[in-house]
């Protein structure tokens, strides 16, 4: 039976109607600070915790519930005679339901320019202690940490007169997940604040996420999947995007969309990324978004069908018209926003409206590039590394051939290099201007990637430039590129055969520059 409940909440969403319903069910309410005041102002009978403990709230509210009459009432095992005897001896009343959520630490630390002391003050101590106590003793105590669960709790109390074991167990799991996520956010923030300049990786790395949605399936239909978001929201990220319509998202949709957004985040100009199987098959900058998309689509029209798109500008009507006209179709689109007329055009287009997933992500560009650590799970653990982020200063290029690239070639090489870092190794990108002509991705030999990129470039390959994510181990790759009509090449250099590769370029009369920066993407 639920006879007595303790309420102490920071998030007071729906608190008054919930507490009123509990009171009407005959539950005695105990509360602290602002929670008690809110209930009292709503004329809901409530007992102040200080009158139970015999101690006032002190130290600006830091100490109020850390007392045996509170934790004893939560932790006592009702079927243990010595526990019952101790409660009677010390005047400890049982607390059967704990409604607690925590100080807004994550929201506070995210505020621009916030003082360290203000963030520290939002590290909750009593709240997690009560939550953990109640969750530990879930055989006898219900713990509610999310206002979204208020209605479920009331429904079960009205129907059964108590909380069933199944719901108590579920609420306990949710409570421990909350405190784990909370402590993870605190630990990571403290490391970010205090670590030495050369100390990049903490001794213990904590990771916690909250489920944002369940997916249609994982990589394949027989695999289940779900999307989670971290406590720290990343700008222009999928977990925080607004879903505007279309089929339910699948695991593969999200992987491809993430790859497309990461590529788009490299560019400040109107830019379109066309991504398929986690690789860009087309990419371009343009005077406007529609022009960028038209050029990006032409990078590989065959692969573009059924791809996912990411843009650095809101989708306008001209861009929507390009998409829905002709025999074009994509699985999903991520953009900062969608103009109303563009949204209507996509939604009413034949085969488009109910199928294409549309996600409004907010601004996408260099200011939203993710700069944190990148993680990859492996059997028995995971790997951490810095993200491959170049920053705003362009990499200095070293001309290593007799011929130097002209200004237009340099611009195109830099564009191709930025795209190349988002292509699976071995990666080759052929570009003309600021648009991709062809991509060679994921091949076991670099010359095969060159062959594939040349093939995809078609008749336009003459006068193009090429970027490679790593050095050429032999001259064969550059020889194939020159044969096709490539006039300038960017690569990091570093091979023991660099001299032979440079000699091959000089013999063919083309320019080569070294970036001295590799961009493997395994």
Residue 141 lies in a domain: yes
168 and 241 share one domain: no
* CA distance readout (Å), 459 to 230, 463, 485: 46, 10, 10
CA distance 335 to 328: 18
User: Rounded to two decimals, what is the model's pTM?
Assistant: 0.84
Residue 11 lies in a domain: yes
**293-319 burial, b if ≥16 CB within 10 A, otherwise e?**
bbbbbbbbeebbeebbbbbbbbbbbbb
Among 193, 209, 244, which residue terminates a domain? 193
From 35, 91, 42, 39, select the one nearest 64 (Cα to Cα): 35
Residue 225 lies in a domain: no
CA distance 506 to 499: 10
CA distance 146 to 168: 14
Residue 495's CATH number = 3.40.140.20
Residue that is written with structure tokens 């055969």 in the block: 497
Bridge partners of 374? 385
Burial of 350 (0-12, 13-18, 19+ CB in 10 A): exposed
Q: How many residues does the chain have?
A: 522
135 and 12 share one domain: yes
Q: Domain range holding 409?
A: 396-514
Name 285's Cβ contacts closer than 8 Å, sequence gap at least 6: 267, 269, 270, 271, 292, 415, 434, 435
50 and 44 in contact (C-beta within 8 Å)? Answer: no
40 and 175 share one domain: yes
CA distance 520 to 280: 15
Residue 423 lies in a domain: yes
Structure tokens at 13: 């969403």
347 and 420 share one domain: no
Count CA atoms closer than 13 A to 270's CA, side-chain side.
15
CA 129 to chain centroid: 29
Residue 228 lies in a domain: no
Name 514's Cβ contacts closer than 8 Å, sequence gap at least 6: 397, 398, 400, 490, 491, 492, 493
Count of the separate structural domains present in the chain: 3
281 and 351 share one domain: yes
Residue 159 lies in a domain: yes
Structure tokens at 80: 């243990």
CA 36 to chain centroid: 37
86 and 32 share one domain: yes
312 and 408 share one domain: no
Residue 466 lies in a domain: yes
- The pLDDT assigned to 371 comes to 73
359 and 256 share one domain: yes
Name 372's Cβ contacts closer than 8 Å, sequence gap at least 6: 234, 387
Residue 27's CATH number = 3.40.50.1380
Q: How far apart are the first and last CA of the chain?
A: 57
347 and 419 share one domain: no
- The pLDDT assigned to 393 comes to 65
321 and 436 share one domain: no
- Taking only the tens of pLDDT, the chain with its 522 residues reads 789 999 999 999 999 999 999 999 999 999 988 899 999 999 999 888 877 877 667 666 666 667 878 888 898 988 888 888 888 888 888 899 999 999 898 889 888 889 999 999 889 888 899 999 999 999 999 999 999 999 999 999 999 888 999 999 999 999 999 999 899 889 888 888 887 777 888 888 888 888 888 888 899 999 999 998 876 666 678 888 889 988 888 899 999 999 999 999 999 999 999 999 999 999 999 999 999 999 999 999 999 999 999 999 999 999 999 999 878 899 999 999 999 999 999 988 878 878 899 999 999 999 888 777 888 888 988 888 888 887 556 788 999 999 999 999 999 999 999 999 999 999 999 999 999 999 999 999 999 999 999 999 999 999 999 999 999 999 999 999 999 999 999 999 999 999 999 999 999 999 999 999 999 988
Pairing status of strand 97-100 against strand 271-276:
unpaired
267 and 312 in contact (C-beta within 8 Å)? Answer: yes
Among 368, 386, 419, which residue terminates a domain? 368
Among 138, 173, 193, which residue terminates a domain? 193
Pairing status of strand 488-491 against strand 97-100:
unpaired
**138-149 burial, b if ≥16 CB within 10 A, otherwise e?**
bebbbbbbebeb
447 and 497 share one domain: yes
- The pLDDT assigned to 264 comes to 95
Q: Which residues are catalytic?
A: 136, 277
Residue 276 lies in a domain: yes
403 and 466 share one domain: yes
């Amino acid at each position: 039976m639920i006879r007595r409940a303790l309420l102490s909440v920071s998030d007071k969403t729906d608190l008054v109607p919930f507490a009123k319903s509990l009171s009407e069910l005959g539950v005695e309410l105990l509360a602290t600070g602002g929670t008690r005041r809110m209930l009292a102002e709503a004329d809901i009978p409530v007992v102040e915790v200080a009158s139970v403990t015999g101690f006032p709230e002190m130290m600006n509210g830091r100490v109020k519930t850390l007392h045996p009459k509170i934790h004893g009432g939560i932790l006592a095992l009702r079927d243990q005679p010595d526990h019952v005897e101790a409660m009677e001896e010390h005047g400890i009343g049982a607390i059967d339901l704990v409604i607690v959520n925590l100080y807004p630490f994550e929201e506070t630390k995210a505020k621009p320019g916030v003082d360290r002391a203000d963030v520290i003050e939002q590290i909750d101590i009593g709240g997690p202690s009560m939550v953990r106590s109640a969750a530990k003793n879930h055989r006898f105590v219900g713990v509610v940490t999310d206002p979204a669960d208020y209605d479920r709790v009331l429904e079960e109390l009205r129907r059964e007169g108590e909380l069933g074991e199944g719901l108590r167990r579920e609420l306990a799991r949710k409570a421990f997940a909350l405190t784990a996520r909370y402590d993870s956010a605190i630990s990571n923030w403290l490391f970010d604040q205090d670590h030495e300049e050369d100390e990049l990786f903490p001794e213990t790395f904590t990771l916690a996420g909250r489920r944002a949605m369940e997916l249609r399936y994982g990589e394949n239909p027989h695999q289940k999947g779900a999307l989670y978001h971290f406590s720290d929201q990343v700008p222009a990220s999928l977990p925080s995007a607004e879903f505007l319509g279309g089929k339910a998202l699948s695991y593969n949709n999200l992987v491809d969309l993430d790859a497309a957004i990461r590529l788009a985040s490299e560019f400040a100009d109107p830019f379109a990324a066309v991504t398929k199987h986690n690789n860009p098959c087309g990419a371009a900058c343009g005077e406007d978004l529609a022009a960028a998309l038209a050029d990006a689509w032409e990078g590989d029209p065959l692969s573009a069908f059924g791809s996912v798109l990411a843009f650095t500008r809101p989708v306008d009507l001209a861009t929507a018209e390009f998409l829905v006209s002709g025999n074009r179709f994509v699985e999903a689109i991520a953009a900062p926003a969608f103009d109303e007329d563009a949204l209507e055009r996509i939604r009413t287009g034949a085969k488009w409206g109910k199928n294409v997933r549309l996600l409004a992500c907010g601004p996408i560009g260099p200011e939203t590039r993710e700069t944190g650590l990148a993680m990859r799970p492996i059997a028995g653990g995971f790997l951490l590394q810095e993200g491959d982020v170049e920053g705003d200063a362009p990499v200095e290029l070293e001309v290593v051939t007799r011929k130097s690239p002209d200004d237009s070639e340099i611009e195109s090489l830099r564009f191709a290099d930025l795209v190349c870092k988002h292509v699976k190794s071995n990666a080759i990108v052929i570009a003309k201007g600021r648009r991709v002509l062809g991509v060679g991705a994921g091949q076991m030999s670099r010359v095969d990637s060159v062959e594939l990129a040349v093939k995809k470039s078609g008749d336009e390959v003459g006068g193009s430039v090429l970027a490679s994510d790593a050095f050429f181990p032999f001259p064969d790759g550059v020889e194939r590129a020159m044969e096709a009509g490539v006039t300038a090449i960017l690569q990091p250099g570093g091979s023991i055969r660099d001299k032979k590769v440079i000699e091959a370029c000089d013999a063919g009369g083309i320019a080569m520059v070294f970036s001295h920066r590799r961009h493997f993407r395994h």
